[in-house]
Structure 1
Amino acid sequence: MENNTQWFASWFNTPYYHILYKDRDYKEAQLFMDTLTHYLNLPEQAHILDLACGKGRHAIYLNKLGYQVTGADLSENSILHAKQFENDRLQFIVHDMSKPLNQQFDAVFNLFTSFGYFKNEADNLNTIKAIQANLNETGFGVIDFMNTDYVIENLVPKEIKTVNDIAFHITRYVENGYIIKNIAFTDGGQNYTFQERVKAFTLADFEALFNQAGVYLLDIFGDYKLQKFNAKTSERLIMIFK
């Protein structure tokens, strides 16, 4: 790469991350929250932890449904943005999801493949344990992950996505058990490169983690309508546990 290429400690803490993904489907996310909270039959005044909440799109909607919500994310910039939506029943905090908070919730949601980023793989298990520690006696944990078998089978190796007049050059590949996305672009005469690395966890991998953590897997679904999971055709791997 050229000498003026910028490297950032955290891709998620930059404005470019939010530019690239600005067209995410809010309606789909809201319908998923409607379906999920109805399925879990959460109490009306339930307190939900949205773990790795980003800018808070799920947390804000859950709060509009009437729930008390805490949104937690490692990205200070994302939390700073989300804090403008706070009220007496919606709070956002900077937090490392591999460590438990000092309170318990009726549900802990980890949504939109916000898992498997850690350099230290022990923190994947630590995150499961932290979720369990943050659940009250009747609480549910939910991890909404990609179905890696489907993703790898349908991986698009290269594409150019233009957003806000920025041409994002994206390459995808699988390496050492990770699904990797390299993102390169130029803005304001500067060249930038970022990388997303997500551990290619399968259902069997999660089952092993749950077993190690002493967590009981209750249900598995394959999409945001909570239809049956199929390893070959489902786009999502949604797991509900206690």
Structure 2
Amino acid sequence: MTTHSTAWFASWFDSPFYHVLYKDRDYAEAQQFMDNLTQYLNVPEGGEILDLACGKGRHSVYLNRLGYDVTGVDLSANSIAHAKQYENDSLHFKVHDMSKPYPKQFDAVFNLFTSFGYFDHEADNLNTIKAIKANLNPFGFGVIDFMNSEFVIDHLVAEDTKTVDGIDFALKRRYENGYIIKDISFTADGENYNYQERVRGFKLADFEALFEQAGVYLLDVFGDYKLRKFDHKQSERLIMIFK
């Protein structure tokens, strides 16, 4: 019996099992968020949007359907290979490291669904915000949609099991040294797999410090996908608009 172990996020996001575990994510809620966000930001008709850490491209595809010219980028070659089937004249996907600027400017840069804080090198958190700034045109807005770490830490479920497509995913969660850590263990086709998700438990004050260092201005903070006011104890999301 082979055991696959890794603590490096790229291999987990590149694994087919990542997409199995999270297949029931709420698409309707994600689409409502994109509707609300683009209307709130007043992104111009046919405007250009960069979807940073786009995964398999579901947000990008929907934004493109709304009439925007969308570029989706992700570090995962597997995810980008999957997303490329949706490409058209105004929808493109590329493998790209979001801690480095993309060679173009946009009306909006979106970093959605807690796709931040995974980096092995602490400096890449600041580098990513600097890269977003570099990728915004003079009228553009940056958006980071992160979890509300305070809420998540307060409601952390230490252990549970989730069964999807006949696979029992044993999940263990803890908060340690500033990271929210999830250990994921399961058996599939007679092989044992162990993965780990590690996300920095950034709070609003941490982002404010990074924004100040990067020279960007925080304009608004929302606590959910309906863009309601952020409450550090009650809100599930931390959605920041900056430029």
The CA deviation at 1:173 is 0.2
| Deviant stretches of 4+, over 6 Å | none
The CA deviation at 1:4 is 2.5
Cα separation, 2, equivalents of 1:102 and 1:80: 20
User: Any idea what the Cα deviations from partners look like across 1:110-141, whole Å, max 9, x if unmatched?
Assistant: 00000000010000000000000000000000
Q: 1:225-240 counterparts in 2 under 5 A? A: 225-240=226-241
**Structure 1 residue identity aligned to 2:237:** R
Match of 2:198 in 1: 197
The CA deviation at 1:45 is 1.3
TM-align CA RMSD: 0.8
Match of 2:185 in 1: 184
Number of aligned positions between the proteins: 240
SS at match of 2:206: helix
Match of 1:61 in 2: 62
SS at match of 2:233: coil
SS at match of 1:207: helix
Cα separation, 2, equivalents of 1:94 and 1:87: 17
SS at match of 1:129: helix
Match of 1:74 in 2: 75
SS at match of 1:6: strand
Q: 1:133-152 counterparts in 2 under 5 A? A: 133-152=134-153
User: Any idea what the Cα deviations from partners look like across 1:82-103, whole Å, max 9, x if unmatched?
Assistant: 0000000000000000000111
Query: Where does structure 1 lack aligned partners over 5 or more consecutive residues?
Result: none
Match of 1:115 in 2: 116
Match of 1:4 in 2: 2
Matched, 1:18 2:19: yes
Match of 1:99 in 2: 100
Match of 2:221 in 1: 220
**Structure 2 residue identity aligned to 1:7:** S
**Structure 1 residue identity aligned to 2:142:** G
The CA deviation at 1:7 is 2.5
**Structure 1 residue identity aligned to 2:242:** F
Cα separation, 2, equivalents of 1:188 and 1:56: 28
SS at match of 1:66: coil
Cα separation, 2, equivalents of 1:206 and 1:179: 16
Query: Where does structure 2 lack aligned partners over 5 or more consecutive residues?
Result: none
User: Any idea what the Cα deviations from partners look like across 1:140-160, whole Å, max 9, x if unmatched?
Assistant: 000000000000000111010
User: Any idea what the Cα deviations from partners look like across 1:24-73, whole Å, max 9, x if unmatched?
Assistant: 10000000000000000110010000000000110000000000000000
**Structure 2 residue identity aligned to 1:167:** D
| TM-score using structure 1 length | 0.98
Cα separation, 1, equivalents of 2:160 and 2:69: 40
| TM-score using structure 2 length | 0.98
Match of 2:158 in 1: 157
User: Any idea what the Cα deviations from partners look like across 1:166-216, whole Å, max 9, x if unmatched?
Assistant: 000000001110000000000111000000000000000000000000000
Identity of matched residues, %? 71
